[in-house]
Amino acid sequence: MSAHGTGLLERAGTVTARGLVSGFAVYLASRVADGFTAELAATVFFAVVFAGLWELIHRLSRRDPYGDE
């Protein structure tokens, strides 16, 4: 498979995972909040937290475990 095709598959996986996380944030917000404004605020909160965790895991997984860069 070409490098271009591999990049597209990686990008599709990332978009799918972020879509699932966003859906989970909306689901959690609807379960813990009551009212449209509270649900909207909870959705934004959960989305920011999950995006931050996603970025942290992504950065840590690319780091050299021995510190040799």
| pLDDT of 64 | 62
Span 16-60, pLDDT tens digits: 887 888 888 888 888 888 888 888 888 888 888 888 888 888 788
Question: What Rg value do the Cα atoms of the chain yield, rounded?
Answer: 16
Q: Of residues 42 and 64, which shows the higher confidence score?
A: 42
CA 11 and chain centroid, separation = 13
**Alpha helix (H) residue ranges in 1-69:** 3-32, 36-62
7: pLDDT confidence band, cut at 50, 70 and 90?
low
| pLDDT of 59 | 82
